[in-house]
């Protein structure tokens, strides 16, 4: 168990539907990170951008991208997570893959498909929340549009860290900033949100605005609009637990169940 966790998010302009270029880019960035890094968060669909052309770019779970993630995690002895397009059981998924330093993988399928862009017509939605245990931390990883749905995110598992990866357009970036802080506050959880930048082939413009906030919604690390780079922070479970015990907000939450 580790009291402190050093987390990093990489904000990048993704190469459209080009896994080879994207993997090369992220490998260079990862190799430049400090040796004390524990966890790296990549954007949503980090190998392709937010595309509906699944037959062109989808991979199997044992394909090149996930193998690359495993190679990097083992080599650097860090955890790496990001989402990508996975073809499995005759379905296409926007699937988050979390790779441990051992190479072990855990996966989460995006629960809330972005209907405004027709994601629901191409991708099959998930039904199960994932809670990962890593170095004694309980981590809840989620994808983009999930951020809008507080009931799905509610901290009934007593997790310590929320992860959001996204291709969140600039025209709704105020919601991204506001909701990341709201989710951290209502769940008393550290939160990292990693978004892409640039303009994709569909002419959607992304500004990034990646950030890390603490369990009270205070910004720890952030990037300005359209900036290539990283966000990073060393977060403390002891400090978080002390605040949770002192304030007691999570003790007063409502009980509920979700029906699929």
Catalytic residue among 17, 29, 144, 181: 144
Q: Is 6 exposed, middle or buried (0-12, 13-18, 19+ CB in 10 A)?
A: middle
* Structure-token pair, residue 117: 């862009």
Place of tokens 């994709």: 200
CA distances (Å), 250 to each of 26, 130, 224, 245, in order?
Answer: 37, 20, 32, 9
Catalytic residue among 110, 129, 181, 237: 110
Q: 105, 82, 76, 77: which is closest to 95 by C-alpha?
A: 82
Catalytic residue among 44, 59, 106, 119: 44
101: Cα within 13 Å, side-chain hemisphere: 9
Q: What is the DSSP string of 84-148?
A: EEEEETTEEEEEEEEE-TTS-EEEEE-SS--GGGTHHHHSPPP-----EEETTEEEEEEEGGGGG
106 is an active site residue: no
140 is an active site residue: no
Q: Which residues participate in catalysis according to the annotation?
A: 44, 110, 144
């Amino acid at each position: 168990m580790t009291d402190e966790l050093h987390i990093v998010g990489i904000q990048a302009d993704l190469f459209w539907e080009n896994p080879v270029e994207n993997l090369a880019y992220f490998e260079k960035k990862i190799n430049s990170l400090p040796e004390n890094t524990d966890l790296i968060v990549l954007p949503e669909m980090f190998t392709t951008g937010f595309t509906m052309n699944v037959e062109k770019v989808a991979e199997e779970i044992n394909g090149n991208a996930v193998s690359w993630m495993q190679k990097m995690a083992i080599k650097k002895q860090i955890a790496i997570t990001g989402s990508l397009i996975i073809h499995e059981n005759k379905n296409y998924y926007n699937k988050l893959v979390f790779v441990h330093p051992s190479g072990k993988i855990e996966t989460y399928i995006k629960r809330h498909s972005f209907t405004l862009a027709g994601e629901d017509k191409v991708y099959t939605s998930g039904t199960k929340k994932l809670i990962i245990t890593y170095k004694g931390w309980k981590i809840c990883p989620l994808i983009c549009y999930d951020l809008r749905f507080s009931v799905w995110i509610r901290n009934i598992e007593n997790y310590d860290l929320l992860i959001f990866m996204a291709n969140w357009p600039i025209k709704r970036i105020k919601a991204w900033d506001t909701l990341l802080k709201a989710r951290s506050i209502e769940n008393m959880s550290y939160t990292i949100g990693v978004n892409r930048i640039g303009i994709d082939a569909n002419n959607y413009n992304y500004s990034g605005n990646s950030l890390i906030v603490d369990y009270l919604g205070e910004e720890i690390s952030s990037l300005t609009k359209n900036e290539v780079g990283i966000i990073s922070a060393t977060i403390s479970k002891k400090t978080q637990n002390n605040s949770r015990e002192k304030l007691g907000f999570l003790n007063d939450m409502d009980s509920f169940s979700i029906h699929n």
